[in-house]
Amino acid sequence: MGITEDLADKLARDAIEAAELMQDEGLIAETAKVMGASSTTSEEAFLTAVRVRLAEKRARKFLETRLRAFEEKVKKDTTTSD
């Protein structure tokens, strides 16, 4: 990645972590607004990084939930078969 994407991704990680810690969903939008006042290119890169990271986080949680359910089903099927 280039410097813009690298910096935006680092800030996205930090902003997501801070927003979760503070339970403040608006923090990311406020951060983007501050960034956009100086550089719309950086703001766009930041928002893209946030969307990608949050989408990955939701998809990972979904996958982990499905895997746990499958493992429980296999475990149940195995114990009832014996």
Through-space distance between the first and last CA atoms of the chain, rounded to whole angstroms: 54
Residue from 47, 25, 26 nearest 36 by CA = 47
Q: State yes or no: pLDDT of 15 exceeds 70.
A: yes
pLDDT at 79: 85
Could you tell me the pTM of the whole model? 0.84
pLDDT at 27: 98
Asked if 43 and 4 count as a contact pair (C-beta separation under 8 A), the reply is: no
Tens digits of per-residue pLDDT, 44-80? 999 999 999 999 999 999 999 999 999 999 998 888 8
Residue 46 burial (C-beta neighbours within 10 Å; 0-12, 13-18, 19+): buried
Which residue blocks in the chain are alpha helix, DSSP H? 3-22, 26-38, 40-81
Written as one letter, the residue type at 25 is E
